[in-house]
Amino acid sequence: MIAGCRDMISGLFSKKNDALGIPLSEAGYVVVDTELTGLDVKKDSIISIGAVRMKGGRIELGAQFYRLINPSTEMGHEGIVVHGITPSDVAQQPLLEQVFSEFLDFCGDDIVVGHFISLDLDFINKEMKRSRGTNLKNSAVDTCKIYEWVKSNEGSSGSYHSGSVRDLDLFSLAREYGVPVSEGHNALSDAFITAQLFQRFMSILPGLGVRTARDLVKVGRP
Q: Give residue-wise pLDDT tens across range 56-69.
A: 999 998 999 999 99
User: Angle, nearest 10°, between helix axes 143-153 and 187-204?
Assistant: 30
For position 16, what pLDDT does the model report?
52
Round to whole Å and give the CA distance between 200 and 189: 17
Q: Is the pLDDT of residue 160 over 80?
A: no
Band (pLDDT 50/70/90 cuts) for residue 3 is very low
Whole-number percent of the chain with pLDDT over 70: 86
Per the CB < 8 A criterion, the answer to whether 54 and 195 are in contact is yes
For position 182, what pLDDT does the model report?
80
Q: Which of 74-78, 141-145, 180-184 has the highest mean pLDDT?
A: 141-145
For position 14, what pLDDT does the model report?
45
Range in 106-110, 143-147, 184-188, 208-212 the model is least confident about: 184-188
For 193-222, the pLDDT digits (tens) are 999 999 999 999 999 999 999 999 999 999
For position 18, what pLDDT does the model report?
64
- What CATH fold (topology level) applies to the domain 22-220? Nucleotidyltransferase; domain 5 (3.30.420)
Round to whole Å and give the CA distance between 4 and 60: 40
Quickly list DSSP for 65-130: EEEE---SSPPPHHHHHHH---HHHHTTSPPHHHHHHHHHHHHTTSEEEETTHHHHHHHHHHHHHH
- Angle CA 208–211–213, to nearest 5: 125
CA distances from 213 to 22, 32, 63, 209 (A): 6, 18, 21, 12
Which letter does DSSP use for residue 16 in this model? Answer: H
CA distances from 103 to 18, 159, 204 (A): 25, 37, 30
Half-sphere exposure (Cβ direction) of 188: Cα atoms closer than 13 Å = 8
Round to whole Å and give the CA distance between 143 and 147: 6
Band (pLDDT 50/70/90 cuts) for residue 8 is very low
Q: Is the pLDDT of residue 83 over 80?
A: yes
Range in 69-83, 106-120, 156-170, 207-221 the model is least confident about: 156-170
For position 60, what pLDDT does the model report?
96
Kindly state the average pLDDT of the residues 162-170: 67
Residue 14: in which H helix or E strand, if any?
A: helix 2-19
Other CB atoms within 10 Å distance of the CB of residue 179: 19
